Amino acid sequence: MTNVATKRYGLLFFGTALGMTVALGFAAPSLGVVLAWIISTTAVAFGAYGMDKVLARSEKLRVPERVLLTLSFAGGTVGALAGMKVFRHKTAKASFRMKFWLATASQVALLTVYLIWIRPFLF
Q: What is the pLDDT of residues 48-95, one digit of tens each?
A: 999 999 998 888 889 999 999 999 989 999 999 999 999 988 888 889
> How far apart are the C-alpha atoms of 14 and 27, rounded to whole Å?
20
> How far apart are the C-alpha atoms of 81 and 78, rounded to whole Å?
5
> How far apart are the C-alpha atoms of 34 and 103, rounded to whole Å?
18
Q: Contact at 8 Å (CB) between 84 and 48?
A: no
- Each domain of the chain, given as residue ranges in start order, spans 2-122
Provide the whole-model pTM: 0.86
Would you call 98 exposed, middle or buried from its count of C-beta atoms within 10 A (0-12, 13-18, 19+)?
exposed
Kindly give, in sequence order, each residue whose CB lies less than 8 Å from that of residue 91, ignoring residues fewer than 6 positions away: 84, 85, 97
